[in-house]
Amino acid sequence: MINCPKCGADNLLNAIFCRTCGEKLNLDELKPTEVGPSEEDKKRLAQQKLMNQIGGGIIAVILAVVLGGILIPPGGKIKGAEPSPDAMAKFEAGKCKPPKVEAEEGGKKDKKGDKKGGKKKKEAPIPDVDLTFTNEEATNIANKTMGLLNGPSGEGNMVANNVSVNFLASGNVKIILSCTAYKFAPVNYVIEWKPNLTGRGALVLEDVNPKVGLLPMPVKQAADFVKQQFAAMSGKCGEMGEVRKNLKSVKVEEGRLLITCGK
């Protein structure tokens, strides 16, 4: 900017006449101090630079909080491992499978020597069974039945690699679904489910407090994603469904799940 020698108005460097008074501008008569940004322009540029620095700092802090909130593992995460024989025995008991019934003696043998025609023994009623699972037992069984102990499950940009189950004192079940996004970024979806058994086998899970890592997330988005992942993984193995359809009562206490299964 150059200043008009007559009225002092600011003009562009290539101006011939003053835009305010119309005075002809002669660049040869201007002093070096008169060429360049005015004091007002310098103040404005300095203020703009400061605002840009402040804005950049705020954006950097927000990005750090978001990335940290997403990538930092939430509390209570449990790494799945091979379930103990005792845990698997309880899981099998929850399926309430009737014992095999063999034919009584007296049947005729077929060509292979197997007996046929004998009367079947009367099936004994299957009693209800009360079972208790700890956080670790439920986590290990979930990872085993969903095939996650053999490696990541899923395709695309979000691959599941671990399920963590925590039973809370509030009566809710906290599920942490650990995934790898775009083959490199660890992401943990956290959601609490409030179980409600409306009848034998009719288990409803109410969605509560969903998060991505440490950050809150819309209920529907998080809940739908976790449910879809669970459905995809558990759909490969119907064992969990076998236990679920036999449920007669469900109670969640801190660190453990108490259920009653029966036919």
Predicted local confidence at residue 66, as pLDDT: 46
What whole-number distance in Å separates Cα of residue 122 and Cα of residue 98? 12
Predicted local confidence at residue 217, as pLDDT: 66
216 DSSP β-pair partners: 211
pLDDT tens sequence across 102-132: 555 555 555 555 555 555 555 667 788 999 9
Burial of 134 (0-12, 13-18, 19+ CB in 10 A): middle
What's the farthest any 2 CA atoms get from each other in the chain?
130
pLDDT tens sequence across 88-100: 999 999 988 876 6
Mean pLDDT of 243-254: 91
Confidence band of 211 (pLDDT split at 50, 70, 90): confident
Domain residue spans of the chain: 2-71, 85-95+127-261
**Average pLDDT of the residues of the chain:** 75
Q: Where are the alpha helices (DSSP H) in the chain?
A: 39-71, 85-93, 135-145, 219-234, 239-244
What whole-number distance in Å separates Cα of residue 38 and Cα of residue 45? 10
Burial of 180 (0-12, 13-18, 19+ CB in 10 A): middle
Confidence band of 197 (pLDDT split at 50, 70, 90): confident
Of 224 and 35, more confident: 224
Mean pLDDT of 179-187: 79
Nearest by Cα to 195 from 244, 122, 131: 244
pTM for this model (two decimals): 0.62
Mean pLDDT of 144-164: 80
**Domain covering 2-71 in this structure, CATH number:** 2.30.30
Provide the 8-state DSSP code for 126: -
